[in-house]
């Protein structure tokens, strides 16, 4: 009997201890730990996945670029721009700029870090002298009293070299039709090139055009967020990374990895196509293996020069050691579903280089009304002109570059027609008229015709001045045009987590 009593007392103690631990460890009412309580997903239980996708959709719709005027005082406005990126679970980070977006002619480089949290279908950003309420297509800026100071409209920019056609002296490495130009490569169902591809042919001095697509990975940080890279001669890495809405860093997009940060962070938001155009000059070696000259590189990210004739004293990051041996170009596999298309290269040892970078297809025009200033009375005299100039979004510098580059082309076409030349081939991108085309009707008739895609939007495209030979510093930087493209993202690369395969 005494033994039974002791056993009963022990059982009672265990029950009391279990109840105490349950009270301490159990979550508060309304809290649900998904690692403990969430049921496993099944083919018929779609509610959880649909809810998660809906949350992601809200975050995706709010990230992006916005620009417009903000009132600092009556009749005094400041051009302001904001870049916003999602960091998961409704959290956001942003950067506010004065003068416009990076790449705009009026961009001043003054950056202010913002943070925010989404509430339903809108976001509130703080960290500046005002609060910013972010919706899908507009940011409303208000002061501490709730007075509206301005509205920043959504801007979707397109690289001026997006869709650039390979000139006649270029080698097309990838156009979606196959992987014959690679020793290691894989295609997606959409005909896009995956990360982890090695070029078959090796190049010494070259100009390269490449287009890439970054996945949406909001919960990832740093080098785990949309990471890949272009390894030139397997030694010098030009970084590819989703570093949108961050300040330039030495391992961000546009950097020479862990060697030199880009002059500007021209990375666009994920889920849209972006471009790299680069001029690479290989190092020079003596017969005994002594290096005589260092490698050099000039790079444009989304049409804006971010590395200007930079000298590379050694390999960068995890590149192969320098030696007088050619190695292939590689597209790094960092377990992130980055995609590539429209890759072509000009071997400068075999042919001369004309215009580079080459302008791509212009973005479609939009019928959106111009931005309006806050409802203040305009100032008189010169001040009114200043207000009027600030009411519109800043014009990218590349427009002026386009005009300069277009004049010699137009003169060359005119002289060719006058001399009776009949050429059937042209080095110009697809969509531009060739010299064989007959003269059009007088100016009055031209106004009634629908212009060709390339010439009609000459002021919106942005070719650079020529860069040739071993002096890539002769190229002039351009800025990214503000436009609204509608690229179709890959179907199998939009996951929020990295592809571990």
Quick: pLDDT tens for 273-302.
Answer: 999 999 999 999 999 999 999 999 999 999
Strands (E), 175-249: 182-184, 193-194, 197-199, 206-213, 228-232, 236-240
Q: Quick one: DSSP state of residue 156?
A: -
Write out the residue range of the structural domain in which residue 219 sits.
171-363+463-482
438 within a domain of the structure (yes/no): no
Are residues 346 and 218 part of one domain?
yes
Are residues 272 and 140 part of one domain?
no
Are residues 354 and 220 part of one domain?
yes
Are residues 185 and 130 part of one domain?
no
Are residues 475 and 337 part of one domain?
yes
Q: Quick one: DSSP state of residue 223?
A: G
Are residues 233 and 107 part of one domain?
no
The chain-wide mean pLDDT, for the chain, equals 75
DSSP H stretches of helix in 211-258: none
93 within a domain of the structure (yes/no): yes
Quick: pLDDT tens for 461-494.
Answer: 444 444 333 433 344 433 433 444 444 555 544 4
Query: What CATH number does the domain containing 123 carry?
Result: 2.40.128.620
Tell me phi and psi for residue 472, to 5 degrees. Answer: -65, -10
Concatenated DSSP letters of 49-85: HHHHHHHHHHHHHH-EEEEEEEEEETTEEEEEEEEEE
Are residues 203 and 99 part of one domain?
no
42 within a domain of the structure (yes/no): no
Quick: pLDDT tens for 237-252.
Answer: 999 999 999 999 999 9
Q: How high is the pLDDT of residue 461?
A: 40
Are residues 193 and 63 part of one domain?
no
Q: How many CB atoms lie within 10 A of CB 498?
A: 17
321 within a domain of the structure (yes/no): yes
- Residue of 382, 386, 368, 318 lying closest to 482 (CA atoms): 368
374 within a domain of the structure (yes/no): no
74 within a domain of the structure (yes/no): yes
pTM: 0.66
Quick: pLDDT tens for 391-424.
Answer: 344 444 444 434 444 444 444 444 444 444 443 3
329 within a domain of the structure (yes/no): yes
Which residue reads 């010169």 in tokens?
A: 382
Are residues 203 and 148 part of one domain?
no
Domains contained in the chain, number: 2
Q: How far apart are CA 126 and CA 112, in angstroms?
A: 10
Quick: pLDDT tens for 357-369.
Answer: 999 987 665 444 4
Reduced to 3 states (helix: H, G, I; strand: E, B; else coil), residue 437 is coil
Q: How far apart are CA 248 and CA 402, in angstroms?
A: 27
Are residues 359 and 239 part of one domain?
yes
């Amino acid at each position: 009997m005494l033994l039974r009593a002791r056993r009963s007392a022990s059982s009672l103690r265990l029950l009391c201890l279990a109840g105490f631990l349950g009270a301490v460890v159990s979550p508060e009412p309304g809290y649900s730990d998904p690692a403990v309580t969430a049921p496993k997903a099944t083919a018929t239980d779609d509610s959880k996945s649909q809810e998660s996708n809906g949350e992601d959709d809200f975050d995706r719709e709010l990230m992006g670029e916005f620009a417009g005027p903000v009132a600092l005082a009556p009749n005094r406005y400041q051009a302001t721009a904001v870049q916003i990126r999602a960091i998961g679970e409704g959290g956001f980070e942003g950067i506010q700029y004065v003068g416009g977006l990076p790449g705009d002619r009026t961009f001043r480089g003054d950056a202010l870090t913002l943070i925010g949290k989404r509430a339903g279908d809108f976001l509130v950003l703080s960290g500046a002298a005002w609060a910013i309420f972010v919706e899908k297509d507009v940011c409303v800026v208000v002061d501490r009293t709730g007075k509206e100071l301005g509205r920043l409209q959504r801007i979707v920019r397109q690289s001026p070299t997006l869709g650039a056609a390979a000139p006649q002296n270029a080698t097309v490495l990838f156009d979606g039709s196959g992987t014959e130009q690679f020793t290691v490569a894989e295609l997606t169902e959409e005909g896009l090139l995956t990360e982890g591809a090695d070029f078959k042919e090796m190049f010494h001095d070259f100009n390269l055009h490449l287009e890439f697509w970054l996945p949406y990975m909001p919960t990832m940080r740093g080098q785990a967020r949309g990471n890949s890279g272009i390894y030139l001669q397997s030694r010098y890495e030009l970084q590819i990374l989703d570093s949108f809405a961050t300040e330039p860093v030495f391992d961000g997009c546009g950097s020479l990895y862990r060697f030199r940060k880009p002059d500007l962070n021209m990375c666009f938001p994920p889920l849209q196509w972006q471009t790299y155009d680069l001029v690479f000059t290989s190092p020079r070696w003596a017969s005994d293996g002594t290096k005589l000259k260092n490698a050099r590189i000039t790079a444009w990210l989304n049409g804006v020069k971010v590395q200007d004739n930079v000298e590379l004293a050694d390999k960068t990051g995890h590149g192969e050691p320098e030696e007088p041996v050619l190695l292939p170009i590689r597209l790094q596999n960092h377990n992130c579903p980055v995609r590539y298309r429209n890759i072509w290269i000009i071997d400068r040892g075999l042919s001369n280089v004309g215009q580079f970078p080459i302008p791509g297809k212009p973005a479609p025009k939009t019928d959106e009304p111009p931005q309006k200033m806050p409802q203040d009375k305009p100032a008189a005299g010169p001040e009114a002109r200043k207000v009027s100039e600030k009411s519109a979004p800043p014009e990218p510098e590349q427009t002026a570059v386009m005009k300069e580059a277009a004049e010699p082309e137009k003169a060359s076409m005119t002289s060719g027609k006058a001399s009776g030349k009949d050429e059937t081939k042209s080095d110009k991108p697809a969509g531009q008229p060739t010299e064989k085309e007959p003269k059009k009707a007088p100016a009055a008739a031209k106004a009634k015709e629908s212009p060709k895609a390339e010439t009609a939007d000459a002021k919106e495209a942005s070719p650079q001045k020529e860069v040739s030979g071993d002096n890539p510093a002769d190229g002039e930087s351009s800025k990214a045009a503000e436009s609204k493209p509608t690229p179709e993202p890959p179907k199998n690369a939009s996951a929020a987590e990295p592809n571990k395969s």
